[in-house]
Amino acid sequence: MRTRPCGEVELVGEVRKHFTSRKVVQKTIHKALKNVKVSKRLHHKRIACEQDRIRGINEFDKVNAALRSVISEKMSKYENVVMPRQLKELELCIQDLEDGLECLF
């Protein structure tokens, strides 16, 4: 069994926390969207929301793949540069989803 430096242990812990919080966020979003009834006057916005939702799911998938590579210690220098950018994009996407949900309520 190999020991890890303290920084790696903290990083792995943070990644696990991210996955846990991500699941909670996804459940909350799906639950809220399931309960929302779109009126006829908001129908044109429905298509844009669907595209944003698909984009958001794709962003989650990209970040998850990057974080899994961190856990498995197969992270290259390229991924070291890309992962922070993907996390920032995900953060912006989550903010857009939150703003969209606030508009619906």
Tell me which of 78 and 101 has the higher pLDDT.
101
Give the pLDDT of residue 50. Answer: 64
Q: Please work out, in degrees rounded to the nearest 5, the angle formed at the alpha carbon of residue 58 by the alpha carbons of 52 and 64.
A: 135
The 10 Å Cβ neighbour count of residue 66 is 20
Q: Where are the domains of the chain?
A: 49-105
Provide mean pLDDT across the span 24-46.
64
Q: How confident is the model at residue 1 (pLDDT cuts 50, 70, 90)?
A: very low
72-99 residue pLDDT tens: 665 566 666 677 777 787 788 788 888 8
Distance CA 70, CA 15 (A): 8
Q: Indicate whether 17 pLDDT > 60.
A: yes
Long-range contacts of 58-65 (CB under 8 A, 24+ apart): 59/86, 59/89, 59/90, 59/93, 60/22, 60/26, 60/90, 62/86, 62/89, 62/90, 63/87, 63/90, 64/19, 64/22
Q: Is 48 exposed, middle or buried (0-12, 13-18, 19+ CB in 10 A)?
A: exposed
Q: What is the reported pTM?
A: 0.34
